[in-house]
A and B are shown apart, each in its own frame.
Chain A
């Protein structure tokens, strides 16, 4: 049992700057939750409030139905893996893992049992006598995880644990963390990252934050295919979703819009009559655009840049009526060059429509 419940949680610093506002979140036992967002969005602060390292200024945090606002970190049944691993540099791997157990005054035999079990699980047994400085980055990472495991916590907290690793190691360690989760299905894990690939691959549910607010909570694919607003739409997915100016000219079961003054499109989205003649934002992901074959198109323009990546080709298009370049991602190697005119089309199901405030017209 390790459900987490945040109710109206807020964070204010002593200079009265409010960095988190009315956070409401339910986390079920065994879930892998990822907090993601741009830097400064408050995701680490939220994690640290859950851990008890930061005070909660308002609202309540419950773990297993018990309010733990004033309980110190060590008694909340949580364990944390830090960005820098925070290994104690003067202690061996063994002592690092045994530290919390010794503080809790467990007997030597129990400590030894737990430490060796964790070391075995993480393939650290042969390094137990080494100091952290004699380990590679990946090994240090595993020691940090081992230090969390031995405490048998109800909730694991990870604070950007992969950001200090190089790209290749990051992929391997990401899989290890996924395996770890699989081997401990009852543990709740909360993971903070700014990397959307980590978020998409690891999470059961993603919590996307921005400027101290939760923008959307959902499974990775929900966030991808049904973003609640423009911010989510542009944050998830790479390259980011194109947002084009649009005007609604007919409402109902389907909605007709004029995109960038160029074309009229019918979207399978239901809108109220009151939305008629309002300006809106039309969204389409770069990978959902194709070169038009039959003459129908959504947007047309003149190619400004071409980036050939081998597996795909990115076109950056200057389109009339759009201030930003439109990005288009096409599979394979294609022979486009700067200055070519192109017409791009897309299937209506893949199109998104947001109101002037950025909210999605589709039900989320």
Chain B
């Protein structure tokens, strides 16, 4: 109870402090440079001042937070990648040299590439299939809602859910994991799935696909509904069958949206960490970059240099997407 009250109190203070900043700073600006009931030339001058200052009052806190939490760390990480364990002594390219000679890095990198190919593709594929089919049936919205649901579940919660499915009992004990129970039912040999090299990567990926398919489905479903129905009707009159309509008329029209979904999931995959940490912690050949980075950050008191190097690899992988996004938005702004 006491904890609840103190948590509540600290919450209210935090939020109010933020709101108070905006209110007070704007109030101060209007008091210092009033624009009402003053001679015209003073009004014009004050208006000019407030118009110059106010945007920065509005955007200032966000700018400071972005700088401190995202821009500065990127630069600092690059610097740290040239420093040693504690981030103090300069070691040149040692960390990079270590990285490229490290077996675990190659394994993580290879696994990450596998994740990058499988997860976005599978999620987008299932999302597109489900979006297309649910649009045709009367209970489609309920189906979509249920398939979308895993989006709300944390990676760690999802890991528990799936670990339970992959659970393995040795000997003659009844299998309580669904997957092994099915295998046994069909006469197969139960397995400790998450320890089977290579394939265990796929079992981990299934978790993320399970979560992300709903996202792909929702976006693609909206895009499909945005297709002008005249184009489909025209194709029907031209004699196309359902499959042809889907691949030749509908998919090309939502190509842009498919790309957006694909890149969004790609970015997420690069950062995947919780699932691997919870399921295997990188054992049995399932290590990925994000988990390896986390590992180096804390292992034996932490090796900041090596951690930073791994982080930079992740960063380099997202740069193409970043550049593409910025180009896109600049084009859009010029259009206005």
- How many chain A residues touch B (CB < 8 A): the figure is 6
Tell yes or no: A168 within 8 A of B by CB: no
Chain A residues within an 8 Å CB radius of B48: 70
Complex: A329 Cα to B12 Cα, angstroms: 77
Judge whether A71 is part of the interface by a CB distance below 8 angstroms. Answer: yes
Q: Is B40 an interface residue (CB 8 A)?
A: yes
Are A72 and B40 within 8 A (Cβ)?
Answer: no
- Chain B 58-76, CB-CB to A under 8 Å as 1, else 0, gives 0000000000000000000
A167 to B252, CA, bound (A): 41
Residue A66 interfacial (CB < 8 Å): yes
**Which single residue of chain A is at the shortest CB-CB distance from B45?**
A70
| B residues in contact with A17, CB < 8 Å | none
In the complex, whether A309 has a CB less than 8 A from a CB of chain B is no
Minimal Cβ-Cβ distance residue in A for B46: A72
B195 sits at the interface (CB 8 A): no
Assembly CA distance A72 to B40 (angstroms): 10
Complex CA–CA separation, A68 to B43 (angstroms): 11
B-contact 0/1 string along A62-85, CB 8 Å cutoff: 000010101110010000000000
Q: Which residues of B contact A66 (CB under 8 A)?
A: 40
Consensus secondary structure, chain B interface: helix
CA distance A66 to B44 in the complex (A): 13
The interface residues of chain B lying within 8 Å CB-to-CB of A75 are 35-36, 43
Query: Which residues of A have CB within 8 Å of B47?
Result: 70-72
B44: which A residues are within 8 A, CB to CB?
70-71
Q: Which residues of chain B have C-beta atoms less than 8 A from A70's C-beta?
A: 44, 47-48
Distance A71 CA – B41 CA, assembled complex (angstroms): 8
A75 and B43 alpha carbons, distance in the complex (Å): 9
- From residue A121, how far is it (CB to closest CB) to chain B in Å? 28
CA distance in complex: A72, B43 (Å): 9
CA distance in complex: A70, B41 (Å): 8
Chain A residue, CB-CB nearest to B40? A71
* Least CB distance, B205 to chain A, in whole angstroms: 46
Across the two chains, which residue of chain A brings its CB closest to B48? Answer: A70
Expressed in whole angstroms, the Cα–Cα distance for A71 and B48 within the complex equals 10
- Which residues on A sit within 8 Å (CB–CB) of B36? 75
Kindly list chain B residues whose C-beta atoms are within 8 Å of the C-beta of A71: 40, 43-44, 47
Write the nearest CB–CB distance from B14 to chain A, whole angstroms.
28
**For A72, what are the chain B residues with a Cβ–Cβ distance below 8 Å?**
35, 43, 47
Contact indicator per residue, chain A 43-78, by CB within 8 Å of chain B (1) or not (0): 000000000000000000000001010111001000
Bound Cα distance from A71 to B51, whole angstroms? 12
Task: Give the docked Cα–Cα distance between A341 and B191 (Å).
Answer: 99
B335 CB to nearest A CB, Å: 14
Chain B minimum-CB-distance residue to A69:
B44
Q: How far is the CA of A70 from the CA of B51 in the complex (A)?
A: 12
Q: Per-position contact with B for A176-214: 1 when CB-CB < 8 Å, else 0? A: 000000000000000000000000000000000000000
A68: chain B residues within 8 A (beta carbon): 40
- Shortest distance from the beta carbon of B68 to any chain A beta carbon, whole Å: 32
CA distance A66 to B35 in the complex (A): 17
Chain B proximity of A187: nearest CB distance (Å): 22
Enumerate B5-57 residues with CB–CB distance to A below 8 Å: 35-36, 40, 43-44, 47-48
CA distance A66 to B43 in the complex (A): 14
CB distance from B47 to the nearest CB of A (A): 5
What CA separation (Å) do A223 and B47 show in the bound complex?
41
Report A123 CB to chain B, min CB distance, Å. Answer: 33
A72 to B33, CA, bound (A): 14
15 A–B pairs (Cβ distance < 8 Å), ordered by A: A66-B40, A68-B40, A70-B44, A70-B47, A70-B48, A71-B40, A71-B43, A71-B44, A71-B47, A72-B35, A72-B43, A72-B47, A75-B35, A75-B36, A75-B43
- 6 more contacts with CB within 8 A, not counting A66-B40, A70-B47, are A70-B44, A71-B40, A71-B44, A72-B43, A75-B35, A75-B36
